Chain A
Amino acid sequence: MYPVSLDVNGKTVSAEVDARTSLLDLLRETLGMPGSKKGCDHGQCGACTVIVNGVRINSCLSLAVSHDGDAVTTVEGLADGESLSPLQKAFVSHDAFQCGYCTPGQLCSATALLDEIKRGEPSVVTDGKVTLNEEEIRERMSGNLCRCGAYNNIVDAILSVAGEPA
């Protein structure tokens, strides 16, 4: 077993983990935070997306032991108490989900996406200056599948908060 200590949604947590434990399983099984979802467990669906040290990653493909000292934000950390983030509110008001299973990953991914746009990070469809539009959102969200097919409303929800603090 290996000791790990990390910051999860602003709180320092410590645990002993088997080297094989994924960051996703640490969050869900050991730390009792089931918000991040296990969809494919192979980095293909994005349901497990969390934000580590400011960037979004697939927590299913990441070993917990390798995250000692990191700062992790999960879907549980997006709201301020009972007050939802602008993006969470937009997902509600735009019907950006049906079954909801992919939603935590979609929210973490979109939250990080808005920061990437602010930092001016390009995507493959960027031509010159980085701006947020539907084409950019569809490209940048391609790592988050939604089998209910709520994509149109997800794009609308993200577009609606563009320019606002996420």
Chain B
Amino acid sequence: MKPFDYVRAGSAQEAVRAGAEGRFLGGGTNLVDLMKLEIERPDKLVDVSRLATEEIEDGDDGLLVGAGVSNSALAGHPLVRERYPLLSTALLSGATQQLRNKATVGGNFLQRTRCQYFYDVFRACNKREPGSGCDALDGINRFHAILGASEHCIAVHPSDMAVAMAALDATVETLKPDGSTRSIPARSLHRLPGDTPHIDHVLEAGELITHVVLPASPPKRQLYRKVRDRSSYAFAVVSIALALDLQDGRLANVSIALGGVAHKPWRAERAEGILEDSRPDAELFANAADAELAHAVGHGHNDFKIDLSRRLIVAALRDLSESKREIAA
């Protein structure tokens, strides 16, 4: 690991002032690992894990979640289990209890891809070394993107939590080094790779995630389903976060986000548009899934993901529209 300076920030303001030349340290479960491999080489770590950002507060505008809340604390919070069950399930579907205890909400959003060519410093990777190429394109790309990828990068974002946040229309609140704040829809936090795949998200240098806000009245039917190679402690091959209401026999407030298929949590807007205000049936579900995946592209080993995603969307829609389980109003 490359030597670095360590500072523990006493406040968010102090953190952003110090953070512009360094990296923020939350739980460190991804960053410290990448530093050991010297894929991440910060000169300075600004520890934000002790800031007063561990609260979860319920208010008229929704549930305010501090960026320093651990993944396990958020997943187990009574209000999250009751009102945002898909988020609780998504969090608990990720990693292990040891990692969830350490990993923070802010850090989960900002974790890097698990593409093996990103991790292998002897292979070409435009995300790790811009301009070096992408060995995943013609490599073992079973876990890679089928939507929104580019010729420069086919890596996927590994988070389960971020997929749930995108589906729930959560908002990410940040503080910038100049003291200003902004609200970013969770669905817009990450970006597609284009020709700059080394940039994962829209945050500026030194911009700190301070909170996440979950809408006060999410859809009443929610589901998170993750398809993976092992039943525990594995990244998604494909996952889906689905939320909807049934009003007078018609689908409403339909929100679909897919994980494991793109450089960011993928909001299935085409499918949502077809489903909204329609009566649920198998043909409608198939049409919606087909429309969403019409532009999906496989790269060989991951061709099966297109069919798998289609089936996962259809099955999730069927199960959730037939479910008897709704969250309390």
Contact = CB atoms under 8 A, between A and B. Distances in A.
A78 to B, nearest CB: 16
Contact of A62 (B1, B28, B89, B92): B28
A122 B89 CA distance: 9
Interface residues of A, number: 34
Contact of A20 (B1, B92, B98): B1
A61 B28 contact: yes
Contacts of A140: 97
B232 A58 contact: no
A57 B32 CA distance: 14
Nearest to B92: A124
Interface stretch (A40-48, A83-91, A94-102, A158-166): A40-48
Interface stretch (B3-11, B125-133, B193-201, B256-264): B3-11
B101 A56 contact: yes
A63 B233 contact: no
Contacts of A122: 75-76, 81, 88, 92
B49 A46 contact: no
Contacts of A133: none
Contact of A142 (B1, B6, B88, B233): B233
B96 A142 contact: yes
A49 interface: yes
Interface of A: 2, 18-20, 22, 41-43, 46, 49, 55-58, 61-63, 65-66, 68, 109, 112-113, 116, 120-124, 138-140, 142-143
Top 7 closest A-B pairs, CB basis? A143-B96, A142-B232, A124-B92, A19-B6, A55-B101, A142-B233, A121-B76
